[in-house]
Structures are given as C-alpha cells and as structure tokens.
Amino acid sequence: MIPIGGLISLLIPLALIALVVRFFLRRTRAGSDAPVARTIGAIAHIGVVVAVVTAVRNLVELVVPAEEIFEDTTRVVAFAVATLVVAVPVAVVIWRALFAKSEDFARRLAVVGGLSISMVTTLFSLVGFGRGFVVGDGFRAESFSTLVAFGAAWAGYEWLRTMETGTFEVSDLRPTAGSGVGLALSVSGLVLLIETALTEMLGVGGEVILDRSIGERLGTVGVMLVVGLPALWWFWLRDLSIRETRFRNGYAAVVSYGSLAALASSAGVVLFLALEWVLGFGESTAVSQFDPIPLAVATGSIGAVAWLHHVDLLRPRRGLGTRAYGYGIAATSVGVVAGGLVSLIAVALEAVAADTIVETDGGGSVTIGAILAVGIGALLWWMAWREADVDLAGERESLPRRIYLTGLLIIAGLTGGIALVVALFGFVQAALEGTLGMDVLFDGRFVIGLVVTMAPLIWHLLSEIRSDREARPEPVRLREALVIAADRGPLGNGVHFVTRADGHGVITVDLAEEINALLGQTGPPVVITVDDDGLRVVEVEAVP
C-alpha cells in the first residue's frame, strides 16, 4: 500500500507542474494578457497553505492523548508557531492580492491544487487511523492529527470550490486525484486479500503479509476497501469516467500503462518460477521456490481487471492519451527486450570463456529470465506498435511518437556509443599488451552485448524517423502582401506595410479581416491599396 500511495501522492505535484507548463505555452501562443505571476502565485499559495496545515497537524499531535512521549516538545511547538506566524499572513496576502476578486485559471489552480493535496492526505490518513483500531494497534496520534488538520483544509477548499461560478479544465484535477486514491486503496486491499487467501490455501507466500495474523490482514483489507471503494465510485465511476476530458484520458492512459506492466511482470514471474523449477535450476523445496506466487497472482489478476476497464476508454479513438499509452508500452517493451538480449549474449560469451576462465553458476536461471523478457517484451511491443497506424491523420506528427523515436534514439545512441568505446578500448589495450585471449571476451561480455543489441535498434529508429520525415507534406508558403494604407490595423504576419502620405485609407476591423483572409491563402504575393472605397488587390511576381 505504501509504495502505491506514495506514487499517487507524487502524481499530484507532477500534474500541477504539467498544468502550469501547458498554461504557459498556451498563453504564450494565444498572446493572452493573463499574468504569469498569478499562476506562480497560485503555486506559492498552495505551498504556504500546506506548510500552515502541517504546522497545525504537529500542534494537534502534541495535545491529543497518546502513549508516545515527545522528547523535544519545545522545539516542535516553537517551529510550528514560527511557521504559523509567518505563513498565515503570507497566505492571506497572496489570496487577497491575487485571487479574492477574480475567477480565472490561476485562482482555480490555487483552489483545486490545494484541495487535491488535502484530499489525498486525508484519505490516506483515514486508512491509517482506522487500521490502528481494527488490527489492535489502538489510537494513532499521528494519523488522527493528520486527519484533523488536512480534513479541515479539505473542507475549507471544498467551500471555496462551491463559490466558483464557471467551469474550467483544471477543475478535473479534483476527481482525478480522488480516482487515483480510490484506485490505489482498492487495488492494495484486493491484492492483500487475494494474497492472504492463496497463502493460507497453498502454504506459501507472505511477501506482503509477513507475520501478521489473519485478523490483522482482513482488518487492513476492510479499512482499505471501506475508504477506497467509495472514493473510486464517487470520483471515477459516477464522474470522471463518463466525461471525455484530457484529465480522464491522461488518467486512463497512466492506469492502463501501469496495470498492463503489472500484469506482464506478474505473468513473467509465474512463468519464470515454473520453468526454473521444471528445468532443475530452482530452490531445493517447492515452498521456497514458489514463495512469490501468491503476490504475483494477486497483482496480475487485479492488474488485468484494471487494464481491461481503463484501456476500453482509450480505444474508441486514437487521441493523445491513447498514443501516450501505446508508445509508453512500446518504449518499455524495447527496454525489456534489449535487457533480455544483452543477458543472453553475455551468457553465451560467458559459456564460451568459462571453461578457461572461471566456473560460473546461475546461468540457467539467467537464460530463462532473459528468454522470458525477450518473449514478453516482444509481444507487448508488437501489440502496441501495430496500433500505431501511420496512415491515420496526425500519427506521424504526434508528440508521443516523436518522443518515443527521438528519446529512444538518444538513449540507444549514447548507450551503444559508450559500450562500443569501452569494448574497443579493452580489445586494443589487450592487443597492445599481448594479453588478448578468452579473459578479454569474458570481461567484455556485457559491453559486447550492448553493442550488438543497440546497433539494430538504432537502425530501426533512424529508419522510422527518416520515413516520417519523407512522408511529411512540404510546408505551404502563404501569400505575402504589400499593404498601402494610413493605419496598420490588426493585421497578421506576412505583411509589408507602407504608410500613405495623404492620411486616407484607414484599416477598419472589417478590412483587416478581409486582408488577413487573403494572407491565409496560397498564391503569389499581392499589393493591397486601402482607400475610402475599400480594397484594391493586384497580384505581382514579388513584393517590391
């Protein structure tokens, strides 16, 4: 539960950063007068409020009855009070100066961002607080104080949200964060439940449950599901999943990617343990060999359900979310296949040189794992790559495809280049020293594997990039215009302006729209003369 919860918590600030970057780019292109300072102020306000709530949480933890005794209470109180004295006025000033009388992106970012962080923290602290009573740990002051402080912040932000009169894209951050928490808790609870059942039935396992009693395990499962399932239903099933928004598609892409990766990894673990045992490379007892099976089966089964549900939301059309998911799977699969091939090459070279250098063991298990990595990775890559139909409009120019091809090319180029340098250095040095033999081949088995693996990958990526470039249509040059008028007016690009000396020919809004329409066409340049009767347009070979 902790790794998944931490991951979801980290996604919130990452989403905020992505929103801000997207906002900057959009406003820059549109030429909006929305100040960048207001967006930066929104992020600063969120950080200050979180600092205030954290200070309140520390004070609450000191006053609630608990068995834990703080050795340095004075220091905790002093730091919390100092934070409140500074941060509260700063938060009030930022809000009144920037957001009190406005309703725009920055204000909604300040409200929804703070709301999302407070909500995520509250829900996870609620699980920790409830679990303390269910499993017999008793009252947990840390969870209670976090629940009180961040729960109050959540309620306050919800009140601010109800005052918003309009809708804005950033508002979908709230149900996205809630969906993530609900999914994380629900998945963690179900995985623990399935692992507990399989561990008790098969007598193997315990990767997560360790030495906990059945009552403690089921109590933990119950608390997770009591909090997680309602949150998943409220934020996802009844809200975000039925509205096609960028947040929904992005969330579905992330979950589809993660759940498919979990499914493939779990299947690989099960197959690896089975083949290792059958071929005689495993542990001496079945209990030791198949200890990870319950966790792998639980993770794989829940991952399969999550993948089937979320990927269906992406399939109706191939948009940005679908492409990001597909190329993300393809990139990961390439890495898995490359790792498997490098291991196979290294094992083969090791087998050639081992008789004269050193006796090695574990080669059988490494070979099985490498073959499975190549097989599963190649299957996933083929599934993702075949959906990347370059005949679809916008496929070749899409950002995920460009990141996939360019990013992999950079990684493969650097990795292969460095490996090639290291391999050549080792062979040349050994040749000059007269020590060229099987030991050089043994020591360089991994860099040789990298060179052999990266070379065809680089060729494939360069071929795709070249194909995309050749298929890209030639840029169309739009008209240029020499405009003769007394006033420039709201004209677009491609205008060469000459001011009339007689003061006539003022460009009105209607005339500007007509001129800009001409500039948006293809064709030879034109000379446009503006007078009191309208426009006169003459095509020329070149603008004087």
Q: What are the domain boundaries of the chain?
A: 1-166, 173-314, 320-471, 481-539
Query: In the structure encoding, which two tokens stand for residue 498, read together?
Result: 């000459």
Measure CA 358 to chain center.
44
pLDDT at 427 over 70: yes
Show the tokens assigned to 184: 């994380």
How much is the mean pLDDT over the chain? 82
- The rounded distance, in Å, linking the Cα atoms of 512 and 528 is 11
| pLDDT digit string, tens, across residues 402-425 | 999 999 999 999 999 999 999 999
pTM for this one? Answer: 0.77
Rounded to whole angstroms, the Cα distance separating 228 from 123 reads: 8
Angstrom distances, CA of residue 231 to CA of 119, 142, 156, 256, 464: 11, 23, 19, 19, 43
Q: Give the three-state DSSP class for 206.
A: coil
Identify the H or E element spanning 517. helix 509-519
d(C-alpha 414, C-alpha 401), whole Å = 20
499 beta partners: 485
pLDDT in tens, 466-498: 998 888 776 666 677 777 777 766 676 667 777
Q: Are strands 526-531 and 495-499 parallel, antiparallel or unpaired?
A: unpaired
Q: Which among 119, 111, 236, 101 has a CA at the least distance from the CA of 162?
A: 111
CA 253 to chain centre: 9
Two tokens, residue 19: 């929103």
In a 13 Å sphere around the CA of 532, the CA atoms on its Cβ side amount to 3
Instruction: Provide mean pLDDT across the span 136-149.
Output: 84
CA–chain centroid gap for 302, Å, is 21
Burial class (CB in 10 A: 0-12, 13-18, 19+), 259: buried
Residue 169 pLDDT > 50, yes or no? yes
Q: Which amino acid is at 111?
A: V
Contacts of 96 (CB under 8 A, 6+ apart): none
Give the whole-angstrom CA distance, residue 29 versus residue 8: 32
Q: What pLDDT sits at residue 327?
A: 94
Q: Which whole number is the average pLDDT over 394-403?
A: 88
Counting Cα atoms < 13 Å in the Cβ hemisphere of 199 gives 22
Q: Is it the case that residue 226 has pLDDT exceeding 80?
A: yes
Q: Could you tell me if 228 and 189 are in contact, meaning their C-beta atoms sit under 8 angstroms apart?
A: yes
Q: What pLDDT does 190 receive?
A: 94
Half-sphere exposure of 177 (CA within 13 A, CB side): 28
Confidence of residue 507 (pLDDT cuts 50, 70, 90): confident
Q: Is 4 exposed, middle or buried (0-12, 13-18, 19+ CB in 10 A)?
A: middle
Higher pLDDT, 350 or 497: 350
Q: Is the pLDDT of residue 1 over 70?
A: no
**Rounded distance, CA 459 to CA 168, Å?**
45
Tokens encoding 430: 């050994």
